[in-house]
């Protein structure tokens, strides 16, 4: 049984989550916060119930991926905002899978937002807040010694397969999976696992009919009704209400 939350030791606090040690060398507790940031934390705020919604949606999607033989760090959900996860050595990269033109891709490709891509695009970003998380290529990754060739190849294969699983899954819910950001880590044996979260904070989700945004772009772009759309996304995907 887990120690009471008061006995957990915080070892890291990020923009959206806190990691705790509980005395188990193989696992950590990942707590989801209501805090919201955008534009490399230049914009800050809070979205009511975001932590609970993202924790429970991530648990649902990690469980789905595990059923499809995708290794994730998810072990169990302990509370509405806390999940037990495997302790990993995180790779200092973010992987973005894009299915439609959105965000920075609008400017880089000069195409209208929402344009379908002929095939999914995979992009690598160096996870460094002080540098603005710049896009990098495989040569940059090699020079920076961020991961071995084998780990990078495994991450790319996993990212493409995850996208291949989730794209039709969300389509069946009437949701367009526009793009999504992944983070990966390795365990003591060197096995690669999907980490972090899968939620409206890390993905762009649009209503398939109206193209209304159901993700953090509502916060980034001051569109309003942020909590309402996070809740609508959760209900549509899970078919039940979150524990708040």
pLDDT tens readout for residues 192-220: 999 999 999 999 999 999 999 999 999 99
Query: How many angstroms separate the Cα of 88 from the Cα of each of 36, 93, 135, 145?
Result: 24, 14, 23, 18
| Average pLDDT of the segment spanning 143-167 | 98
CA dist., res. 187 & res. 238, Å (int): 29
Q: What are phi and psi of 176, to 5 degrees?
A: -90, 125
* DSSP bridge partners of 44: 37
Enclosing H/E stretch for 152: helix 149-171
Binned at pLDDT 50, 70 and 90, residue 5 comes out as low
Percentage, residues of the chain above pLDDT 90: 94
CATH pick for 89-238 out of 3.30.470.20, 3.30.1540.20, 3.40.50.10470, 3.40.630.40:
3.30.470.20
Residues spanned by CATH 3.30.200.20 within the chain?
5-86
Give the pLDDT score at 6: 65
pLDDT digits (tens, 9 = 90+) for 92-142: 999 999 999 999 999 999 999 999 999 999 999 999 999 999 999 999 999
CA dist., res. 207 & res. 213, Å (int): 7
CATH 3.30.428.10 corresponds to the domain 5-86 = no
According to DSSP, residue 82 is labeled: E
pTM of the model: 0.95
* DSSP bridge partners of 127: none
| Average pLDDT of the segment spanning 88-95 | 98
Binned at pLDDT 50, 70 and 90, residue 62 comes out as very high
Residues spanned by CATH 3.30.470.20 within the chain?
89-238
């Amino acid at each position: 049984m887990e120690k009471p939350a008061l006995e957990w030791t915080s070892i890291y606090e990020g923009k959206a989550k806190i990691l705790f040690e509980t005395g188990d060398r193989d696992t950590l507790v990942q707590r989801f916060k209501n805090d919201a940031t955008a534009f490399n934390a230049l914009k800050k705020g809070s979205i009511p119930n975001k932590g609970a919604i993202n924790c429970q949606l991530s648990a649902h999607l990690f469980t789905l991926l595990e059923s499809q033989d995708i290794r994730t760090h998810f072990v169990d959900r302990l509370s509405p905002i806390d999940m037990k996860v495997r302790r990993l050595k995180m790779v200092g990269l973010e992987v973005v899978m894009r299915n439609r033109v959105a965000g920075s891709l609008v400017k880089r490709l000069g195409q209208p937002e929402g344009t379908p891509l002929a095939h999914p695009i995979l992009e690598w970003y160096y996870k460094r807040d002080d540098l603005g998380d710049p896009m990098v290529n495989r040569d940059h990754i090699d020079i920076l010694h961020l991961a071995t060739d084998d780990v990078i190849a495994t991450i790319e294969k996993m990212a493409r397969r995850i996208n291949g699983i989730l794209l039709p899954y969300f389509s069946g819910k009437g949701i367009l999976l526009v793009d999504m950001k992944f983070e990966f880590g390795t365990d003591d044996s060197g096995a690669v696992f999907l980490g972090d979260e899968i939620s409206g904070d890390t993905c762009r989700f649009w209503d398939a009919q109206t193209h209304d945004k159901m993700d953090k772009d509502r916060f980034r772009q001051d569109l309003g009704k942020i909590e309402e759309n996070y809740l609508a996304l959760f209900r549509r995907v899970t078919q039940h209400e979150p524990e708040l």
